[in-house]
């Protein structure tokens, strides 16, 4: 083993000296080592004890107050070929894996980051390989990493990879003449080496049974517009099916890698309006469909499955290492209702000058601690970019790491097309990307949210637990979900979250006093309790338990009808839902149309609770078609449904109603977010629609009800 400035023994000594660390306690309690050659699990973070990078941990602990987070697990970055064997005092990949075994960890997190022409729009994170050096990427970078990860010594580790941050999104937004496009991105789009490199990495690493690949998917301030989001999904699909890879090699996606976008914006929603003007028109949102990373991650996940053909069990990760935005500048509530910009700017906790700013952002804070399965569709909150590691240098620095000087890291730079020609908001005196930046680390601690140690900083010593939640009620249920609400707890500092338990299993940690538990079994009884938690980690006693039995469910239709559908509205976020449907009689006898009803399930989000429903065209004639919106189950993507009926007449055996064009709107004409709607599909040609129900005399004859 090569000689290191910080030896293996030295690192182990640091572990002993920091014996108060509860390694990875925020993710899970320690569990027995899994059996050899264990099959892949749905969520690698469940029941996992992740590796704490002790080289990062030692640097964090050496900073004032840093011991408050020095025991948190984070990703190890393989940002150049030399990193595989280790550079200077940095451990090699194999040495990190050995340290993980010594810690008793069973999960290891690593960033794969060295594509040819890497990050074509950000000089600070340019890499060592030129645009055409795909062969070197394969043989000198991916293959050696795969050889290490495939060592039987590490077979009991769940190895989570982040595949190539930033590169694919650049092909979508910065390669075709858009504001901020670069010649380098145009070259990478033309030669296809991003897709080929990522496909090769997915295929090669995906062949290792204990590896879980997550592709980087930028953040809401990059891809949150419909003009970017759908093309990005197509780009991800293209990469995931290149060089022998398939979508099965993709376990999930990660958003907000090394970025600062807020996890949640608690004081405003994209559906809000001020004096009749939607907040999407504000300068900050600039017509974006998303205001934060959680909603973006969940919306993107739905589109990846429906449009991209990725696996239904797809999991999402969110990097929360630096998106807390606490401290004295954090708004306590909504902004003034004078103008839409005043409202949004006064409400938003993300205090950046522009959502396109990404380098060493002033005022940022440590965000949510790594947490397993915090929300539906989210495998974990993770720390992909370890706090304290610089995004890039604020002035030119000669180096042998292939890292250039990007003016977005210069606090005096007045910006470019990618950040609306705004000031960068970068901290001064920053070192090269990946190098330790003490001033940034200290600011991240000071502005942490949830605050460290109850908000008083390290050593505050808050030991008082919140009061137990009261008034736990079942507010709704379906065949696959239960909705709950409760009365808020109180605390001497502040309640920061509630932990909802189904039996003894924690199923969510909302920050509000309501929660919907989804993915349940029909006709099954479930018991729930809730505990309150404060920023110092003090947890209340459990609430009184409530029991809910799920509905019997709509079941799956087995009758003699089928519904065909095509999407007539490319936008998933405008103020109408539009579609065309037709009903086909697949049986051998005629069906009376007066007995037939169709149900298209959707969610209206915020806004008016009344609706308009319209028939724009029908082969039968719109006079023969009725339509109205009704309240249905309370589950993901399906709280309401458009019900379509027919007048007199029959549908002959083998016959079709022909095309029926429909649309609906909220009475206040506020926008929908259709990306997660149960019945929606992106197909623009007629195809069978198993998630649109057809009922005959009240009995489900076609489709699967939510």
Catalytic residues: 119
Nearest Cα to Cα of residue 495 among 507, 512, 517:
512
Determine the 3-state secondary structure of 184 from DSSP.
helix
**Dihedral sign, Cα of residue 414, residue 417, residue 418, residue 421:** positive
- CA dist., res. 285 & res. 345, Å (int): 10
CA angle in degrees (0–180, nearest 5) for 434-212-12: 55
Query: What are 145's two structure tokens?
Result: 């990493």
DSSP letter for each residue of 607-636: S-S-EEEEEEEETT-GGGEEEEEEE---ST
Residue that is written with structure tokens 């697949």 in the block: 586
- CB under 8 Å to 463, separation ≥6 — which residues? 536, 538
- Cβ pair 202, 250 in contact under 8 A: yes
Does residue 269 have a cis bond before it (omega within 30 degrees)?
Answer: no
> CA separation (Å) from 355 to 98, 271, 293, 387?
39, 19, 12, 19
- Cβ pair 228, 356 in contact under 8 A: no
Which ranges of 108-258 would DSSP assign to H, the alpha helix? 134-136, 143-149, 167-173, 183-191, 193-206, 220-223, 226-240
- CA dist., res. 209 & res. 225, Å (int): 36
SS3 annotation, 322-383: CCCCCCCCCCCCCCCCCCHHHHHHHHCCCCCCCCCCCCCECCCCCCCCCEECCCCCEEEEEC
What backbone phi and psi angles, to 5 degrees, belong to 336?
-70, 150
Radius of gyration of the chain (CA): 26
DSSP letter for each residue of 241-280: TSTT--GGG--EEEESTT----S--TT--TT-EETTEEGG
What backbone phi and psi angles, to 5 degrees, belong to 696?
-120, 115
- CA dist., res. 150 & res. 210, Å (int): 9
Nearest Cα to Cα of residue 163 among 377, 313, 384, 469:
384
- CA dist., res. 360 & res. 456, Å (int): 24
- CA dist., res. 631 & res. 638, Å (int): 9
* Chain centre distance of CA 317: 5
> CA separation (Å) from 463 to 323, 420, 428, 453?
26, 46, 37, 9
Check residue 495 and report its DSSP letter: E
Nearest Cα to Cα of residue 86 among 144, 150, 157:
144
């Amino acid at each position: 083993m090569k000689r290191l400035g910080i030896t293996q023994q030295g690192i182990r000594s640091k572990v002993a000296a920091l014996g108060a660390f509860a390694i990875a306690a925020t993710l899970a309690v320690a569990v027995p080592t899994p059996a050899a050659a264990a099959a892949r699990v749905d969520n690698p973070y469940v029941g996992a004890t992740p590796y704490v990078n002790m080289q990062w941990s030692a640097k964090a602990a050496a900073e004032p107050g840093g011991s408050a987070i020095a025991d948190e697990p984070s990703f190890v970055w393989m940002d150049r070929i030399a990193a595989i064997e280790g550079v200077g005092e940095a451990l090699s990949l194999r040495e990190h894996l050995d340290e993980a075994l010594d810690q008793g960890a069973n999960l290891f997190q690593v960033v794969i980051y060295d594509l040819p022409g890497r990050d074509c729009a950000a000089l600070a994170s340019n890499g060592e390989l030129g645009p055409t050096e795909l062969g070197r990427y394969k043989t000198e970078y991916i293959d050696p990493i795969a050889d290490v990860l495939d060592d039987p010594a590490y077979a009991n580790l769940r190895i989570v990879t982040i595949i190539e941050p930033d590169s694919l999104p650049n092909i979508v937004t910065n390669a075709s003449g858009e504001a901020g496009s670069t010649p380098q991105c145009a070259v990478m789009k033309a030669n296809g080496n991003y897709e080929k490199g990522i496909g090769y990495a997915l295929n090669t690493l995906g062949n290792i049974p204990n590896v879980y690949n997550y592709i980087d998917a930028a953040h809401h301030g990059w891809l949150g517009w419909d003009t970017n989001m759908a093309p990005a999904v197509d780009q991800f699909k293209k990469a995931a099916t290149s060089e022998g890879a398939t979508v099965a090699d993709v376990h999930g996606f990660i958003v907000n890698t090394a970025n600062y976008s807020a996890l949640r914006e608690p004081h405003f929603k994209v559906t809000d309006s001020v004096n009749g003007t939607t907040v999407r028109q504000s300068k900050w949102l600039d017509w974006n469909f998303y205001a934060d990373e959680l909603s973006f991650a969940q919306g993107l996940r739905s589109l990846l499955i429906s449009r991209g053909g990725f696996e239904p069990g797809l999991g999402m990760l969110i990097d929360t290492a630096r998106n807390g935005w606490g401290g004295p500048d954090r708004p306590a509530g909504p902004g003034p209702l004078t103008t839409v910009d005043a409202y949004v700017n006064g409400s938003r906790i993300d205090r950046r000058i522009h959502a396109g700013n990404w380098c060493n952002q002033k005022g940022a804070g440590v965000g949510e601690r790594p947490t397993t399965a915090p929300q539906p569709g989210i495998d974990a909150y993770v720390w992909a970019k370890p706090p304290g590691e610089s995004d890039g240098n604020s002035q030119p620095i000669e180096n042998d790491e292939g890292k250039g000087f990007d003016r977005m890291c210069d606090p005096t730079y007045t910006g470019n097309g990618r950040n609306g020609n705004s000031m960068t908001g970068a901290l001064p005196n920053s070192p090269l990307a990946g190098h330790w930046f003490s001033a940034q680390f200290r600011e991240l601690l000071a502005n942490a949210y949830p605050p460290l140690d109850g908000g008083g900083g390290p050593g505050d010593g808050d030991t008082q637990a919140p009061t137990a939640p009261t008034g736990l009620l079942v507010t709704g249920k379906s065949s696959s979900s239960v909705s709950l609400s409760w009365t808020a707890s109180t605390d001497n500092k502040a309640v920061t979250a509630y932990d909802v338990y189904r039996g003894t299993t924690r199923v969510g940690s909302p920050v509000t006093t309501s929660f919907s538990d989804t993915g349940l079994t029909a006709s099954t009884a479930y018991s729930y309790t809730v505990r309150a938690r404060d920023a110092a980690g003090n947890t209340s006693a459990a609430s009184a338990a409530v029991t809910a039995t799920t509905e019997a469910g709509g079941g799956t239709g087995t009758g003699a009808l089928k519904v065909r559908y095509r999407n007539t509205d490319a936008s998933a976020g405008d103020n109408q839902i539009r579609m065309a449907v037709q009903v086909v009689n697949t049986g051998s006898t005629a069906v009376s149309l007066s007995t037939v009803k169709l149900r298209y399930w959707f969610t209206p989000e915020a806004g008016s609770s009344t609706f308009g429903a319209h028939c724009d065209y029908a082969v039968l004639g719109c006079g023969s078609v009725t339509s109205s919106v009704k309240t249905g189950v309370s589950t993901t993507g399906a709280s309401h449904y458009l019900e379509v009926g027919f007048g007199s007449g029959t549908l002959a055996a083998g016959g079709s109603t022909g095309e029926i064009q429909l649309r609906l709107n909220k009475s206040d004409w506020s926008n929908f977010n259709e990306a997660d709607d149960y019945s929606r599909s992106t197909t623009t040609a007629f195809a069978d629609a198993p998630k649109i129900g057809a009922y005959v005399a009240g009995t489900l004859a076609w489709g699967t009800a939510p």
